[in-house]
Amino acid sequence: MRVSIVGAGMTSVAEHWSRSLRELAAEAGKAALADAGLSTADALYVGNAYGATFNHQTQLGSLIADEMQLKGIEAFSCEAGEASGGVALRCGYLAVASGMVRTALVIGVEKATDIVGPARVSARSVSLDADMEGINGATPTAMAGMVMRRYMDEYGVDLGSFEGFSINAHRNGAVNPLAMYRNRMREGAFVKAPMIADPVSLFDGAPDGDGAAAIVLTRSDVAEDLAPQPVRILSSAVKTDRFMLQDREDPLWLEAVADSASTALANADIAREEVDLLEIHDAFTILTALSLEAMGYSERGRGWSWAQSGGAKIARDAELPLSTFGGHKSRGNPAGASGIYQAVEAVLQLRGGAGANQAPGAKTALIQNMAGLGSTVVTHILRG
Amino acid sequence: MKSGIDTKISPHGTIYSFTRLQEAPEAYSAQAPYTLAIVELDDGGRVTAQLTDLDGPVQIGDPVEMVTRKLRTDGARGMIVYGYKFRPPLKQ
């Protein structure tokens, strides 16, 4: 059974101090159902990374179904760290493709900002290996810092070479009314920013944000009757790598990014050149560079070259539109919801309904969600 | 069944990469900022660990040796967790 997206909705990404996890999820879920012209769905799959540690809350499927008054439906959450949104989409895709579920609502939600400082750092670090990394005081940002330093050392690349990725993200986020940080980034500011885990700085790592995004999936053969512009899911692929960075033969090669993208392209039966826009896991600029290399968009050690000239080649109207609504850096990073934000943003692009964020003429989008520096990677290819 | 944890590893190695953490998890925030590294062991394999007893800046490729240290204390009534850290080799 082929699968299409017939509804999409999302909240702003912000510090939503006056709103709870369930309220954010319900707002996005209702918006997606309304967009599809539906009042209910047969199943609800929730992508969330840190409900247990940020919010002391599990069993989000039933919680959110209840909040939305979808009494009795199949509902549960899918967890794979920051790739939770991506695997929830995968779960919805499998359910509809199998013929077991006719209409699936997939919601990604994260409520990060109710805890602050070291408590939030602890709550986020549970996605690392607790026995070997976490116990030694490692954090996800520190792991990214170590990969970035090694990359700069091995390939002789300076810090400023990554700047264009952040400039591009903020250029796009500045015109997205739902983005968390809508400021533009000046050239030269990146290399002067305060360090969090050097060489990863405040202007490099994505900010934690609260938010929810949702999509509605159904069989492609009935999608045309529901929505004027259904978006087809051409393929879906989840791959994993060695869990810890230290155990990978080459920590500068994101094997699961390469596997997941090549499998998705092969299953969609398209060439990489047919992809019109990319939403990838740009939570740190080094991940953008390494992902572009692993997907074959540049040779090893040259992924940063896409950031040259303020990211001119990755702008919305350029060769390879990237992070078109601001990406993790400017739209904000609602961890386990980020994969569904990517899906909603891609749907708007492929419908031609992205407003000021529109990438002209985009027909095919590749979205990729990642956890733990590539230990879980989810790729979907969408076509309008 | 033989587990990886039972394997004997060299206490000597070199720094594969490192970072200085400004934002640490709760149980480690009293020690922040501290230096975390991935160490390439002389017999092969890598481990993630803190660097300790540093007199100055370190670089990728610097030699280090393993020492036993307290990693964290889980509050006044909690566990005291010991483990390994790495330091620059003591001068002979």
Domain region containing A371? 144-203+232-383
Closest by alpha carbon to A305, among A190, A160, A88? A160
CATH number at residue A191: 3.40.47.10
pLDDT digit string (tens) for A261-311?
999 999 999 999 999 999 999 999 999 999 999 999 999 999 999 999 999
- Residue A131 is classified by DSSP as T
Please, which pLDDT band fits residue B34 given cuts at 50, 70 and 90?
very high
Residue at A287 is within a domain: yes
Residue at A136 is within a domain: no
ipTM for the assembly: 0.94
Q: Find which of B5, B19, B20, B59 to mutate to test the A interface (most A CBs within 10 Å of its CB).
A: B19
Residue at A294 is within a domain: yes
| The pLDDT of residue A226 | 86
CB contact under 8 A, A118 and B25: yes
Please, which pLDDT band fits residue B4 given cuts at 50, 70 and 90?
low
| The pLDDT of residue A351 | 97
- Residue A281 is classified by DSSP as -
One of 2.40.50, 1.10.238, 1.25.40, 1.10.3470 is the CATH number of B12-87, namely 2.40.50
Quote the minimal CA–CA distance from B74 to chain A in Å.
Answer: 12
Find out whether A181 and A170 touch, Cβ atoms under 8 Å: yes
Chain A residue with CA closest to B34: the answer is: A137
Say whether both A355 and A373 belong to one domain.
Answer: yes
**Axis crossing angle, helix A60-67 with helix A21-35, rounded to the nearest 10:** 60
Say whether both A345 and A316 belong to one domain.
Answer: yes
* Domain count across chain A: 2
What H or E segment, with its residue span, contains residue A366? Answer: strand A364-371
Q: Find which of A146, A249, A252 to mutate to test the B interface (most B CBs within 10 Å of its CB).
A: A146
Distance CA A250, CA A258 (A): 13
Low-confidence stretches of chain A (pLDDT beneath 70) = none
Residue A137: its chain B contacts at CB < 8 A?
21, 24-25, 28, 31, 34, 36, 50, 71-72
Quote the minimal CA–CA distance from B50 to chain A in Å.
Answer: 6
Distance CA A338, CA A108 (A): 7
| Rounded alpha-carbon distances, angstroms, from residue A46 to A15, A41, A53, A97 | 21, 13, 16, 18
Tokens 């953008």 appear where? A288
Beta strands in chain B (DSSP E): 12-21, 34-41, 46-51, 63-73, 80-87
Distance CA A31, CA A57 (A): 24
**Axis crossing angle, helix A285-294 with helix A255-268, rounded to the nearest 10:** 50
| The pLDDT of residue B3 | 56
Report whether pLDDT(B1) > 70: no
The token duo for A338 is 């980020």
Say whether both A161 and A186 belong to one domain.
Answer: yes
Say whether both A59 and A159 belong to one domain.
Answer: no
Say whether both A110 and A242 belong to one domain.
Answer: no
Could you say which of B50, B60, B71 has the minimum Cβ distance to residue A150? Answer: B60
Say whether both A20 and A37 belong to one domain.
Answer: yes
| The pLDDT of residue B92 | 61
Q: What is the CA radius of gyration of chain A?
A: 19
